[in-house]
Chain A
């Protein structure tokens, strides 16, 4: 079975600082995709960033970037210049064969 592990249930960061959220996954597939989704208190799920496993280059979207280590099966999310609006639950997700698997989430608090 595929599994996605987020080992940090809660994290906090000072406004304008940088924080890294961890994610590891277990798979025997070679072709797959990885995602980070954000869920603010409104409950709406929003895509933050997407990574294709066959691409070695780490994905970047403005203040959000990933550190993708395929051999280690690690996919961490770095948020730079944290803003109050970044406070949310963050989920790491893995896709292979039409199916998605989500981690249990990391709750991020941004301290003014």
Chain B
């Protein structure tokens, strides 16, 4: 049981490049979410999904896309990276949005 896995652990992008952060869970959780963590700002919700085929925006969705084709996977796409997207990104999953969220180890992204 691997829990929530994220790849890559570290990434450096140039402004304007695109990339996908991968997230997978093996706990059959319906609820999955993406957060970004910036110094002094806590975690902010980017996008979330309540099941395969269903996604919605969180607090800071601009510049990011998501899709959920399977229960297990919830990738986050950066369409055209900007320095403001430099952050640590966490993926999380839970049985239901009102229960404990299990977090992945995070991806540290730097955009130059």
Contacts and interface: CB of A to CB of B under 8 A. Distances in A.
Interface of A: 4, 33, 43-47, 50, 52, 91, 93, 95, 98-105
B56 A98 contact: yes
Contacts of B97: 95, 98, 100
B100 A44 contact: no
- Determine chain A's interface SS by DSSP, over half rule: strand
B42 A103 contact: yes
Interface residues of B, number: 25
Interface of B: 31, 33, 35, 40-45, 48, 50, 56, 58-59, 88, 90, 92, 97-101, 103, 105-106
Contacts, number: 50
Contacts of A33: 98
Contact of B45 (A43, A45, A52, A101): A101
B98 A95 contact: yes
Nearest to B90: A45
